[in-house]
Amino acid sequence: MSPSHNESKFNILPHPARTNDPRDLEPPQLGAGLNSNPEQQAFHARGPYKPSQQVLQGVEQPRSKAKEAAAEAPDTEESNEKAAELATIDIGDALPSLTLKNEKGEDVDVATLAAEQGVIFFLVPKADTPGCTNQACGFRDIYPDFTAHNFAVYCLSADSPSAQSKWQTKKELPYPLLSDPQRTLITALGAGEGGKTKRSHFIFEEGGKLVEKKIPVKPADSPKLALEYVKSVA
């Protein structure tokens, strides 16, 4: 059969270009290339597929919301840095409102600790180390003298509550320990330089005003000097 004979009988149409029209996914109809097929004629008559505005919104909107959410989301590191900042506490300044965990994992607002009594915070670089144990046991041994003068004692360090709890049990420490892992209060007191904690102690009178500080201080001297000051203002 010659090509001219085929051309005279059939008018073969080129396969339409693939579009996003979901109708393109339909299986081709038998004889779709014939001019006599009404479906093929209707396909060419309706022109290229144009998605409706509703379809476009359905596709584009989630992406737009994602971009908006990303733009509005705060920078995590910056937020953490701001949260960790606290004004420097000098002599005459009050205890700030800051929540820390104690050795039991309970929340403690340090601003409330001096509401009805004086407070002594002694700071140690690391729990259960020789120098820190010497300092902690020094406060332990004369702890009744502090309470007799209406002063509470707290050990403050960057150790975890669990590490503090083990140390407290091991050395029979009678006072609470406060965990400041980001050294927020430690730094505000001026004892958190270079990511480390300086051995020191700070005394706040009843009402929360800072009245005495020793930084740095030797482990054995810290308890004695703190008690001397407490007795001097009694």
Q: Are strands 151-157 and 177-179 parallel, antiparallel or unpaired?
A: parallel
Question: What's the chain's average pLDDT?
Answer: 81
Q: What is the pLDDT of residues 61-111, one digit of tens each?
A: 444 454 444 444 434 343 344 345 799 999 999 999 999 999 999 999 999
Q: Which residues fall within 8 angstroms of residue 190, CB to CB, at 6 or more apart? A: 88, 89, 198, 213, 215
Asked whether residue 68 falls in the same domain as residue 97, the answer is no
Q: Is 137 a catalytic residue?
A: no
Please name the amino acid found at residue 82.
Answer: K
Domain end marker among 21, 37, 72: 72
Cα–Cα distance measured from residue 174 to residue 102, given in angstroms and rounded to the nearest whole number: 13
Annotated active-site residue in 114, 132, 158, 189: 132
Task: Name the strand (E) or helix (H) holding 201.
Answer: strand 200-204
**Assigned domain for 108 exists:** yes
Number of structural domains the chain divides into: 2
User: Which has the minimum average pLDDT: 13-27, 119-133, 168-182?
Assistant: 13-27
Q: What is the pTM of this model?
A: 0.66
Tokens 């309706």, located at residue? 46
**Assigned domain for 83 exists:** no
Reference 94, options 24, 158, 188, 220; nearest CA is 188
Asked whether residue 208 falls in the same domain as residue 173, the answer is yes
82 is written with which tokens? 């701001």
pLDDT on residue 193: 85
Burial class (CB in 10 A: 0-12, 13-18, 19+), 18: exposed
